[in-house]
Amino acid sequence: MIDHSTIERIFDAAQITDVVSEFVSLKRRGVNYLGLCPFHNEKTPSFTVSPAKGIFKCFGCGKGGNAVNFIMEHEHLSYPEALRWLAKKYHIEIEEKEVTPEELAKQNERESMLVVTQYAARLFSENLFHGHEGMTLGLSYFRERGFGDAILRKFEVGYCNERRDDFTKKAIAAGYKSDYLVMSGLTIDREGYLFDRFAGRIMFPIHSLSGQVLGFGGRIIKTDPKAAKYVNTPETEIYHKSRIVYGIFQARQAIIKEDRCYLVEGYTDVLSMHESGVENVVASSGTALTQEQIRLIKRFTPNITMLYDGDPAGIKASIRGTDMVLEEGMNVRIVMLPDGEDPDSWSRKTSDEEFKRYLKENETDFIKFKTRLLLDEAQSDPVRRANLVREVVRSIAVIPDQITRTVYVKECSTQLNMPEEVILDEVMKLRNQDSFRNRNSWPAQDSASGSLQDMPGTAATSTSTSASQRQRKKEETSFYSEREILRLLIRYGAEVLTRELDKETGIETITTVADYIITEINDDGLKFENEHFAAMFEEIAFSVGQGLIPGDTHFVHHANPVISALVVDMLTEQYTLSRIWGKHGAYVETEEMKLKEMVPDAVLKFKGDKIKVLQKEIRRAMTEAGDDDEKVAALQEQYKAMTSLQKKISTGLGGRLII
């Protein structure tokens, strides 16, 4: 069996457009891609790929899913075979083994750690906005730097109180085990004495693509020469700094929309650029870029722009790792900020429009930038110039696309005043070296076969139900209302539905979409008829009870392929708004803007369908009761009560008839 962490790595690496484009010619259409479906004959493209959601969907034949589902369907492979196919493509080594009790315990530990980090993020945010110390030190720090509450809440920024064990004691008192506090890196255990790792620091939660809090970065506020300016969560079972970039959860939609990602160094750089209206930005958090981080960004765009602060030594150190970005086939550009400025300081010194214009007007292609930088350093020294050529040749050689390489060879020959043939010859020599060709290869994998029984949590069944089964489920009375409830939970579960401020205490109570729906359904003791919807609802309700709200990525990559396919259907929209409306400034109301009306309506429709199911059961029971007048009378009273409830629900829906 393929272990859970390896499956996660495969899903993280598998870019849906990259996988599908090996078999389908795709053309960009707005934020998505369009092509002819490989699963049925069609002349007009109806096959859509969404890089933001990591899914494909054909509106002609109905097939849809994630990258693994696509390979399963297209290559006729089982789930584990498809995972192996993708692992080989992305050079991920697989170790297959049986799940031991110890490994199962580790999976449970991982889930418990996610619950702890989510709790910590909530508590730190509460400290910042409502705690005396957090407001005096943390919030005033952000106010001085021009950050508004909306940005701080968007990134769930918080504050860890200065008292050495404040967080740890509160977490234990709230029922969280000290073992998990230590495992998640929030608490330090020194010979039995437990204390906070981040005491006296403003806190920056680091999110996964699905919005789960994996770790934290903490910045000290008070001047202390003995203390590090920044402290980050150490490597844990859930936090691997080489696999995540700061701000990707908040930036992914903007990256898709703009088809570009800005890369900066620090947390506040990201926040400042969001304040300036540039939301397609992530941070490397001061570490060198890794292959996993680059592929994570590439899932949303092939275009990356790096912002440098003008320090020559820092620039030279940074560009050494940029060849990895080129190697992934990405288009790399550079923006040099004025001397002594970083994205945070420069965005605060300029207006939003001036900042955006500066980024646009000062972009330089990376190869040209690197060549010019090294030329300035080498000047007329022949040895340095020779080394310069080798540096530039290596950067060109790693570019996978032959046409792009040829263009760069031509341009660099002009810049370096060197024959094009010489540079091209050096590029080809390097590419033909065995050490160069095999630089990213893993040991060959066995082509052992597998079955769906290897897949955790599922039986060996087909990845999609038969047409008759699907039709029968759609004909169930509450299918569509149940589906809409799950769609709202998965797509908007974390969105704020209401805010209520207690004037006496000053404490703000926030109700999310997930809080509202789950409370309404559970308080009335209502159940889902569809077994897969029921399983999904239970999973979401349990996670929300633990302080987590699983997002669309969690369910798109769900181990149960039926659930994954259902979620793809929920999240896929056949029609998207044309860009022309945005260009002409047309006002279009989005779903997010209508949640306060949509969510209660969906819950009422769900309840109305449950009443119809009960009415059918009562009518059947009345028929079966026959001449038992007493039983019939009791059932009639029940039916009357149900009818009365249905009228109230119809009134709540604006008088619409529930059919």
Res 391: pLDDT: 81
The amino acid at residue 408 is Y
Q: Judge contact between 274 and 267, C-beta under 8 A.
A: no
pLDDT at 510 over 90: no
pLDDT at 66 over 70: yes
Residue with tokens 């033909």: 432
CA distance 625 to 461: 41
- For residues 605 and 103, the model is more confident at 605
Residues 269-295 have pLDDT tens digits of: 999 999 999 999 999 876 678 888 888
Least confident of 255-264, 302-311, 488-497, 510-519: 302-311
CA distance 555 to 191: 41
Q: Name which of 274, 273, 268, 206 is nearest 240 in CA terms.
A: 206
- For residues 371 and 1, the model is more confident at 371
**Measured in whole angstroms, how far is the alpha carbon of residue 299 from the centre of its chain?**
10
Res 634: pLDDT: 82
- For residues 256 and 521, the model is more confident at 521
Res 99: pLDDT: 60
| Conformational region of residue 328, where left means phi above 0, alpha means psi within -120 to 50, and beta covers everything else | alpha
**258-287+295-437 to CATH, choices 3.40.1360.10, 3.40.190.80, 3.40.50.970, 2.160.10.10:** 3.40.1360.10
- pTM beyond 0.95: the answer is no
CA distance 425 to 531: 63
pLDDT band at 124 (very low <50, low <70, confident <90, very high): very high
Q: Judge contact between 282 and 258, C-beta under 8 A.
A: no
Number of Cβ atoms within 10 Å of the Cβ of 108: 10
Res 657: pLDDT: 44
CA distance 592 to 495: 8
Q: Name which of 245, 228, 339, 226 is nearest 287 in CA terms.
A: 245
Res 128: pLDDT: 95
For the chain, the 3-state helix, strand and coil shares in percent, each to the nearest 5, are 55, 10, 35
Paired residues of 160 in beta bridges: 201
Q: Which two tokens stand for residue 182?
A: 């230590």
Q: Judge contact between 186 and 117, C-beta under 8 A.
A: yes
Q: Name which of 207, 168, 400, 422 is nearest 296 in CA terms.
A: 207
Angle at 48 between CA 30 and CA 534, to 5 degrees: 115
CA distance 20 to 24: 6
Averaging pLDDT over each range in 62-66, 201-205, 206-210, which range is the top one?
201-205
Q: The dihedral of CA 20, 292, 565, 259: what is its sign?
A: negative
CA distance 85 to 71: 8
**101-239 to CATH, choices 3.40.1670.10, 3.10.20.30, 3.90.980.10, 1.20.1630.10:** 3.90.980.10
Mean pLDDT, the chain, as a whole number? 81
Res 286: pLDDT: 62
Q: Judge contact between 15 and 298, C-beta under 8 A.
A: yes
Residues 459-487 have pLDDT tens digits of: 333 434 444 443 354 446 778 889 899 99
Number of Cβ atoms within 10 Å of the Cβ of 335: 18
Q: Judge contact between 368 and 395, C-beta under 8 A.
A: no
Res 336: pLDDT: 86
Pairing between β-strand 213-220 and β-strand 187-190 as defined by DSSP bridges: unpaired
**Among residues of the chain, what percentage have pLDDT more than 70?**
86
pLDDT band at 575 (very low <50, low <70, confident <90, very high): very low
Q: Name which of 53, 52, 55 is nearest 19 in CA terms.
A: 55
* Residue 435 DSSP SS3: helix
Residues 408-458 have pLDDT tens digits of: 888 888 888 888 888 888 888 888 877 676 665 443 333 333 332 333 333
Q: Which two tokens stand for residue 127?
A: 């400290």
CA distance 154 to 10: 29
Res 311: pLDDT: 63
Res 126: pLDDT: 94
Q: Name which of 546, 550, 512 is nearest 120 in CA terms.
A: 546
Q: Judge contact between 42 and 33, C-beta under 8 A.
A: no
Q: Name which of 188, 241, 196, 195 is nearest 214 in CA terms.
A: 241
CA distance 626 to 31: 61
Q: Which two tokens stand for residue 547?
A: 């302080």
* Residue 204 DSSP SS3: strand
CA distance 115 to 80: 29
Averaging pLDDT over each range in 185-199, 369-383, 495-509, which range is the top one?
185-199
pLDDT band at 131 (very low <50, low <70, confident <90, very high): very high
Residues 138-190 have pLDDT tens digits of: 999 999 988 999 999 999 999 999 999 999 999 999 999 999 999 999 999 99
**1-98 to CATH, choices 3.30.2420.10, 3.90.580.10, 1.10.3470.10, 3.30.1330.200:** 3.90.580.10
For residues 166, 170, 176, 178, the Cα torsion angle rounded to the nearest 10 degrees is 30
Q: Which two tokens stand for residue 262?
A: 């800005």
Mean per-residue pLDDT, 489-504: 84
Q: Judge contact between 307 and 266, C-beta under 8 A.
A: no
Residues 523-566 have pLDDT tens digits of: 888 888 888 898 899 888 888 887 777 777 788 888 777 888 88
